[in-house]
A and B are shown apart, each in its own frame.
Chain A
């Protein structure tokens, strides 16, 4: 730079005599936070990126052999169309239903406010459970509702049907039902952010109820709908359970099921699997990047004051009927089917209450394979939540306050979002590949399941804690710092206690998602290391349907129990925090 430090005094006015100054921080001390941030980035970077890179390396090996075998396949075009059709079709259903339900939830009479929870509940039912439940209802021959429909005069000549659950339109419909709960959560949160006065102003200025909805409410919800829509689209593209359980036997393939086949049936072909997953990978990354560019800085979304959203009008019975009907169809029907099958000795189109038995449940708790799977699910989920929460806390703190480390922060932001954009099936395949070889041979251990689970939960752990921190604002923290507390005390005495509801909500959501987890688990499991979802799939493949139904119900109960525990800890409105 300029003159060395020992040279003559600078020509500017001699500095005024200043009191003694403490020794400047050493270089190392000052760089310590940066080093920590860098180490954190390296850790989560390896976790998330290494499996994806490993897959791509294989796909490009030997002159991109993986890509050529995958995309020279004449069935590939059909698979791509089916994937897109499934994603867009289920997205459309979920957007319409989810928005309607969110609107309906704001128009409930005061006495029935609790009904708001109903549209979220399908999340508590594992996808494998509800898909098998639907199969029990609408399987062409023994499906209960099909059998009932065949009693109607105009269908009584049919031997099977009229509904065939194993066809694309029905897979789309069921997937759409599954995504509805997510859209509902997003849109409900969006409604919550609309200032009631904006709605009232529109009414005062002469808009009808419908006018308010279409001219004010919907435009205000547009950012929410776009964001929620993209998330639902990504989830739709990554759909695995429905197509695998319902579509495989009829030759309805999507990219995810193709990928699963490539790594689960011999000869195992990772290169081909990686290539099949690439469209999903690229689309996921594109959406994540798009969202980062569009949404940019989180601090802009701090909202203060204003009246919370109040329903723009009188309670509506259409709203009540809509929510109840949805709950009946999406919740009660599949659960009822599961219950009936689980109590029967075998599955046929007839319901025989006299033959009901608890034998299936007894078997669930007697067969060591199943009990081991239940224990595995619970332990891996709890351990993963316990790891993901602190990781998410660090990531969220870094995103919110790490303005000094611009590049590290941007990288963390991106890496943490990737597991949301990229389907679990791709991660599952990547982890299977990465941890079945040097330097980490973990195949068949619970460790690899925990690693996948932590990776998949990173976006949720980070985003939920981030929004909690954003809502908390800076003042409480500044008050603590100016009261003489260091960063550690501020975090333990101020931030964590104030974030407790957020933490409990995040833990509950992650526990639910993990005990349900089926897709990535199916890829990394070993015959000796199973979780609830995978063991259910094995019995489904064997055709032991009553046992499948019993396992599905047990899974549902376990998750519900977890949610209730978390609710007791959080002591409040977890579902609103979701």
Chain B
């Protein structure tokens, strides 16, 4: 367990023009903290992780683990991975096929010259932690995917490294197993309290596991915050989109009210300062609701004219795709007490609406507009 500090990390890949994978990134990680790097592919999250591991040499920057500087390019310090006292769990498990589970888990102990007797005990402890004690004498090829990833987890943790790195470790597992291993990992972290950096592109994984999330875009950290704050108060439109607010409605001020792109007026006002003439509204699909075209939205709601493209039955509601001013949005129409929604058909005109405080409003630069109630009040 140790404090991790990254300063001004920059990594460029050769090419024309050179691609900047990590762009002057700085990050501090508290001892025992679980940090998740979240972003789409190509945002630099894996490169950052590999620079932390020492598998990739950045072009600029400084990294320290605990009280040791492991990378400082100005001082020409760049410790190889084996000198950094880390553990790493790979997406493809990377269990060595010619070694038994016991030898795989014991490998980091052997490299650290842990005495044989102590190593034996610690291997069994590590295997117990991940429910693999019965598998110790098998070869990786004899294990299922979930078992392999649990063994890989045990190998990453066995030597109690200063820092454990996870490179999308759950994405090769099927959905059910992924949830199981995720829960197990969360529990392990709560129990052992290791410092961890976890890379993923899956937002639910990030929300579930992270003490803090770093949402990355083009080699930079767009927002660094607790899962709750990232989920409820995405600082930028990019983060909002990535964290599930996939509906985007562009609105323009017209006199006292607002209009959509094709000029149709919107019912209701927005909690946006007068200085902004244009805003982008971000909404989760759950929060965009439908009513028959002739009905007005409720008092605190903002209503827009929409046309149905497709409707799917979703149990207690209908999942509906609508267009509003040529942009496609996902909406939801509850079925309880509203039987009309069962018969939604392509081309039908409806009123789409959302409660003012369920949406977030971003200016032309994608930055949150100032004046509206903090999300905490909503709950």
Q: Determine if B86 and A18 form an interchain contact, defined as CB atoms under 8 angstroms apart.
A: no
CA distance A522 to B107 in the complex (A): 51
CA distance A19 to B77 in the complex (A): 13
CA distance A21 to B80 in the complex (A): 15
Question: Could you say which residues of chain B place their CB within 8 Å of the CB of A489?
Answer: 111
CA distance A231 to B97 in the complex (A): 34
CA distance A233 to B237 in the complex (A): 62
* B256 sits at the interface (CB 8 A): no
Question: Could you say which residues of chain A place their CB within 8 Å of the CB of B92?
Answer: 475
* B343 sits at the interface (CB 8 A): no
* A65 sits at the interface (CB 8 A): no
Q: How far in angstroms is the closest Cβ of chain B from A538?
A: 48
Residue picked from B55, B87, B111, most chain A C-beta under 10 Å = B111
Interchain CB contact (< 8 A) of A486 among B7, B66, B67, B82 = B82
CA distance A117 to B80 in the complex (A): 45
Q: Determine if B80 and A478 form an interchain contact, defined as CB atoms under 8 angstroms apart.
A: no
Q: Determine if A498 and B97 form an interchain contact, defined as CB atoms under 8 angstroms apart.
A: yes
Question: Could you say which residues of chain A place their CB within 8 Å of the CB of B7?
Answer: 16, 18
* A484 sits at the interface (CB 8 A): yes
In chain B, residues 50-80, which have Cβ atoms closer than 8 Å to a Cβ of chain A? 53-55, 62, 64, 66-69, 72, 75-77, 79-80
* A20 sits at the interface (CB 8 A): yes
Q: Determine if A478 and B94 form an interchain contact, defined as CB atoms under 8 angstroms apart.
A: yes
Q: Determine if B72 and A481 form an interchain contact, defined as CB atoms under 8 angstroms apart.
A: no
Interchain CB contact (< 8 A) of B96 among A24, A481, A494 = A494
Given A24-B75, A484-B111, A489-B111, is A478 in contact with B88 using a C-beta cutoff of 8 Å? yes
* A77 sits at the interface (CB 8 A): no
* A30 sits at the interface (CB 8 A): yes
Question: Could you say which residues of chain B place their CB within 8 Å of the CB of A20?
Answer: 67-69
Q: Determine if B159 and A483 form an interchain contact, defined as CB atoms under 8 angstroms apart.
A: yes
Q: Determine if A485 and B107 form an interchain contact, defined as CB atoms under 8 angstroms apart.
A: yes
* B165 sits at the interface (CB 8 A): yes
Given A22-B77, A24-B75, is A478 in contact with B85 using a C-beta cutoff of 8 Å? no
Q: Determine if B108 and A481 form an interchain contact, defined as CB atoms under 8 angstroms apart.
A: no
CA distance A316 to B95 in the complex (A): 41
Nearest CB in chain A to that of B69: its residue: A21
CA distance A491 to B80 in the complex (A): 15
* A482 sits at the interface (CB 8 A): yes
* A321 sits at the interface (CB 8 A): no
Given A482-B53, A483-B107, A484-B82, is A21 in contact with B75 using a C-beta cutoff of 8 Å? yes
Given A482-B81, A483-B111, A484-B159, is A18 in contact with B69 using a C-beta cutoff of 8 Å? yes
Question: Could you say which residues of chain B place their CB within 8 Å of the CB of A481?
Answer: 54-55, 80-82
Q: Determine if B96 and A479 form an interchain contact, defined as CB atoms under 8 angstroms apart.
A: yes
Q: Determine if A19 and B69 form an interchain contact, defined as CB atoms under 8 angstroms apart.
A: yes
CA distance A487 to B80 in the complex (A): 10
Interchain CB contact (< 8 A) of A478 among B66, B81, B95 = B81
Question: Could you say which residues of chain B place their CB within 8 Å of the CB of A25?
Answer: 76-77
Q: Determine if B75 and A483 form an interchain contact, defined as CB atoms under 8 angstroms apart.
A: no
Nearest CB in chain B to that of A404: its residue: B57
Nearest CB in chain A to that of B55: its residue: A478
Question: Could you say which residues of chain A place their CB within 8 Å of the CB of B97?
Answer: 498
* B212 sits at the interface (CB 8 A): no
Question: Could you say which residues of chain B place their CB within 8 Å of the CB of A478?
Answer: 53, 55, 81, 88, 90, 94
Q: Determine if A19 and B64 form an interchain contact, defined as CB atoms under 8 angstroms apart.
A: yes
CA distance A476 to B62 in the complex (A): 27
* A497 sits at the interface (CB 8 A): yes
CA distance A19 to B67 in the complex (A): 5
Given A498-B96, A498-B98, is A483 in contact with B68 using a C-beta cutoff of 8 Å? no
How many residues of A sit at the interface, in one of the four size bands? Answer: 20 to 34
Nearest CB in chain B to that of A30: its residue: B76
Q: Determine if B55 and A483 form an interchain contact, defined as CB atoms under 8 angstroms apart.
A: no
* B372 sits at the interface (CB 8 A): no
Q: How far in angstroms is the closest Cβ of chain A from B140?
A: 11
Question: Could you say which residues of chain A place their CB within 8 Å of the CB of B82?
Answer: 481-486
Q: How far in angstroms is the closest Cβ of chain B from A548?
A: 46
Q: Determine if A19 and B90 form an interchain contact, defined as CB atoms under 8 angstroms apart.
A: no
Question: Could you say which residues of chain B place their CB within 8 Å of the CB of A498?
Answer: 96-98
Question: Could you say which residues of chain A place their CB within 8 Å of the CB of B95?
Answer: 479
Contact flags (1/0) for A4-45 with B, using CB distance below 8 Å? 000000000000101111101100001000000000000000
* A480 sits at the interface (CB 8 A): yes
Interchain CB contact (< 8 A) of B76 among A19, A24, A483 = A24
Q: How far in angstroms is the closest Cβ of chain A from B199?
A: 14
Residue picked from B87, B92, B94, B95, most chain A C-beta under 10 Å = B94
Given A475-B90, A498-B97, is A485 in contact with B111 using a C-beta cutoff of 8 Å? yes
Q: Determine if A19 and B80 form an interchain contact, defined as CB atoms under 8 angstroms apart.
A: no
* B155 sits at the interface (CB 8 A): yes
Contact flags (1/0) for B349-364 with A, using CB distance below 8 Å? 0000000000000000
Interchain CB contact (< 8 A) of A484 among B62, B75, B112 = B112
Contact flags (1/0) for A448-487 with B, using CB distance below 8 Å? 0000000000000000000000000001101111111111
Q: Determine if A484 and B165 form an interchain contact, defined as CB atoms under 8 angstroms apart.
A: no
CA distance A323 to B88 in the complex (A): 50
Q: Determine if A479 and B68 form an interchain contact, defined as CB atoms under 8 angstroms apart.
A: no
Nearest CB in chain B to that of A478: its residue: B55
Nearest CB in chain B to that of A481: its residue: B81
Question: Could you say which residues of chain B place their CB within 8 Å of the CB of A24?
Answer: 75-77
Nearest CB in chain B to that of A475: its residue: B94
CA distance A16 to B64 in the complex (A): 12
Question: Could you say which residues of chain B place their CB within 8 Å of the CB of A497?
Answer: 98
CA distance A275 to B80 in the complex (A): 51
Q: Determine if A482 and B77 form an interchain contact, defined as CB atoms under 8 angstroms apart.
A: no
CA distance A22 to B78 in the complex (A): 10
Question: Could you say which residues of chain A place their CB within 8 Å of the CB of B5?
Answer: 18
CA distance A47 to B276 in the complex (A): 76
Q: A483-B87, A485-B111 are in contact. List 13 more A-B contacts (CB 8 A).
A: A19-B64, A21-B68, A22-B68, A24-B75, A478-B94, A482-B53, A482-B81, A482-B82, A484-B82, A484-B108, A484-B112, A486-B82, A493-B107
In the complex, the 4 A-B pairs of residues with the closest C-beta atoms, listed nearest first? A484-B111, A21-B69, A482-B88, A479-B94
- Supply 11 A–B pairs (Cβ within 8 Å), ascending by A: A19-B64, A19-B68, A25-B77, A479-B94, A482-B87, A482-B88, A482-B165, A484-B85, A485-B107, A486-B80, A494-B96
| Contacts from A to B (Cβ < 8 Å) | 16, 18-22, 24-25, 30, 475-476, 478-487, 489, 493-494, 497-498
